[in-house]
Amino acid sequence: MFTGLVLGLGNISSIARNNGGARLSLDAGSLPVDAAIGDSISVNGTCLTVVEIRGSVLSFDLSDETLRSSNLGLLRVRDRVNLEPSLRPNTKMGGHFVTGHIDGTGRIASKTLTGDVYTIVIGVDQKITGYLVEKGSVAIDGISLTVVNVARESFSIVIIPHTASMTTIGLKTAGDTVNVEVDILGKYVAKFLGRSKDTDLMQTLAREGFA
C-alpha cells in the first residue's frame, strides 16, 4: 500500500529481458537507505519487490504481465521513474490509498502551460473513466492527483510547479504513456452497488434521488 506521494526519482541502470519477463535495476539515490530484500517499492506506480541491493542500486524482477500492462515495458536505460516505499504505520497519509496495481495505461493527449501550472489531458479506455469522478483521486505513474474533468475516453489533471519538479510528470510530453490506477475505494463501491440492485440500500438511494 502506498500514498501516491513520490519521495524520489530513480534512474534506470539496466533492463535485462529473460523468458519470464525482465530484471530491472535502477539507481535510487538516497531512497534505499533502509531498504531490504523483499521490500515493496512503487516504481512509476507499480508495486515491485526488491530482489537485490548493491549500494544505491535496487533490482526487481518483472513478469511479462507487468511489462505488458504498464509503461515499465517501455523504459530504457537512463530513463527516470517515480519512487515511493510502501506505507508504514507511522507514515503521514497525505495522498490517497494507492495499491500499486495498475488498472491500465493512458496516453497524454495534451499538456498546456498556463502561468506556472500545467493542464494535462490523458486519453484512456472507458473502463478507466467509468471509475473517475471530478475532484476525485487518481494515481498517474504513482503520483496522487486530483481529477479535474472527465470525458468519455479522457480526463484532465492540473500539475502545480512542485509536483512538476519533483516527479516525472514534469518531463512528460504529448504522446507519452503513463500508468493509471483508479481509486480503490471507488472500485469497491461500484462493485457493491452493482451487486445490490434489489436490496433495501438501492431502494433507499433511489427514493432519496441518489440512484
Lowest mean pLDDT among 6-10, 87-91, 146-150, 166-170: 87-91
pLDDT tens track for 55-72:
999 999 999 999 999 999
| 65 φ, ψ (degrees, to nearest 5) | -65, -45
Residue 94: the pLDDT is 76
Sign of CA dihedral 59, 163, 177, 171: negative
Say yes or no: 62 and 113 in one domain: no
Sign of CA dihedral 99, 101, 104, 107: positive
Query: What integer is the mean pLDDT of 17-41?
Result: 89
> Residue 198 pLDDT more than 70?
no
Say yes or no: 132 and 75 in one domain: no
Give the domain-ending residue among 38, 55, 85: 85
**pLDDT > 90: percent of the chain:** 76
Per the structure, the complete domain to which residue 34 belongs is given by 8-85
Mode of pairing for the β-strands spanning 177-182 and 154-159: unpaired
Give the domain-ending residue among 24, 52, 85: 85
Neighbours of 178 (CB within 10 A): 24
> Residue 199 pLDDT more than 70?
no
Say yes or no: 115 and 174 in one domain: yes
Lowest mean pLDDT among 85-89, 90-94, 149-153: 90-94
How many domains does the structure of the chain reveal? 2
Is 201 part of a structural domain of the chain?
no
Say yes or no: 120 and 52 in one domain: no
Banded model confidence at residue 195, pLDDT cuts 50, 70, 90: low
Is 209 part of a structural domain of the chain?
no
Banded model confidence at residue 132, pLDDT cuts 50, 70, 90: very high
Q: State the alpha helices, DSSP H only, in 99-183.
A: 126-129, 161-166
pLDDT tens track for 98-114:
999 999 999 999 999 99
CB 119 within 8 A of CB 148: yes
Residue 204: the pLDDT is 62
Is 210 part of a structural domain of the chain?
no
Using CA atoms of 79, 148, 125, 95 in order, give the dihedral in degrees to the nearest 10. 60
Distances (CA, A) of 139 to 32, 33, 45, 84, 155: 22, 25, 7, 12, 12
Residue 67: the pLDDT is 95
